[in-house]
Amino acid sequence: MTKTAVVTGAARGIGLATTKLFLAEGRTVVMIDNDTEELARAAEGLTGAVALPGDVSDPTGIDALVNVTIEALGRVDALVNNAGLADFGPIEGTTFERWRTVMATNLDGVFLMSQAFTPALKATRGAIVNIASISALRASTLRVAYGTSKAGVAHLTQQQAVELGEYGIRANCVCPGPVRTKLAMAVHTQDIIDAYHDAIPLNRYGSENEIAEAIVWLCSDKASFVTGQRLAVDGGFEASGIGLP
């Protein structure tokens, strides 16, 4: 029996690295992303991957994503809710529209996708991995919308673990430290890059692959007794307690 996975935000960055690791261990993967062109480019030549354009924040499109996924994979062993938006803005400068946009993808998207895929995950006693952030664990300036959305993801993960455990579904959350993806580099100024280097005990950014390894492990049978956890993959940032600007 071939195991399967669904990865959102799979067109690039951490989602694409996760897809490639799943494929390398023999899973078939549905890659969901709302950047249709980048998704098509990313999926080209990836044997075992199916590109599925879709917006995780759009409640009207979620059932279709589930149906096409089940048709393509037959079963769903793992759901990785990775699609996300970055946002840096002060409390007074964050418009309600901006706040809603961030919540819609980062938090509503995780809720909607997980809810819709729960019947399929019950059938396989599958795994959910939600991608939050170190901003879910520690507050710092300018992360009012982003940090709050990610803290919501971390708590939602625990709700899922507690409620869905009786069906054999495990739910865990990965909290990445900074990684040089398009999302991060759009908002990380040189000051922020320098501050992260100082605040992270390993004194560097992580790689997409280092985050993906943790995600794939949490989805695997090797993590069969691990659920409800928030795993910081952050070079020690959370432990250091050193602040950011």
Kindly provide the residue ranges of all beta strands, DSSP E only, lying in 89-219, ordered along the sequence: 127-131, 170-176
Amino acid at 32: I
Give the strand order in the sheet containing 170-176. Answer: 49-53, 28-33, 4-8, 78-81, 127-131, 170-176, 230-233
Residue 98 identity:
R
- Report the alpha-carbon distance of residue 156 to residue 45 in Å, rounded: 35
Q: Which is nearer to ligand NAD, 165 or 186 (CB)?
A: 186
* Distance, CA of 63 to CA of 71 (rounded, Å): 12
CB 167 → ligand NAD: shortest distance, Å? 25
Nearer residue to ligand NAD within complex by CB, 82 or 172: 82
Least distance in angstroms from the C-beta of 178 to ligand NAD: 4
Tell me the closest approach of the beta carbon of residue 131 to ligand NAD, in angstroms.
Answer: 4
Residues facing residue 33 across a β-bridge: 53
Catalytic residue among 146, 167, 196, 205: 146
The residue among 183 and 226 lying less far from ligand NAD, judged by its C-beta, is 183
Which residue's CB is nearer to ligand NAD, number 37 or number 125? Answer: 37
11/26 Cα distance (integer angstroms): 19
205 is catalytic: no
Q: How far is the CB of 228 from ligand NAD (least distance, A)?
A: 19
d(CA 170, CA 172): 7
Q: Which residues bind ligand NAD (CB under 6 A)?
A: 8-9, 11-15, 33-35, 55-57, 82-85, 105, 109, 131, 133, 176, 178-179, 181-184
Supply the residues annotated as catalytic.
146
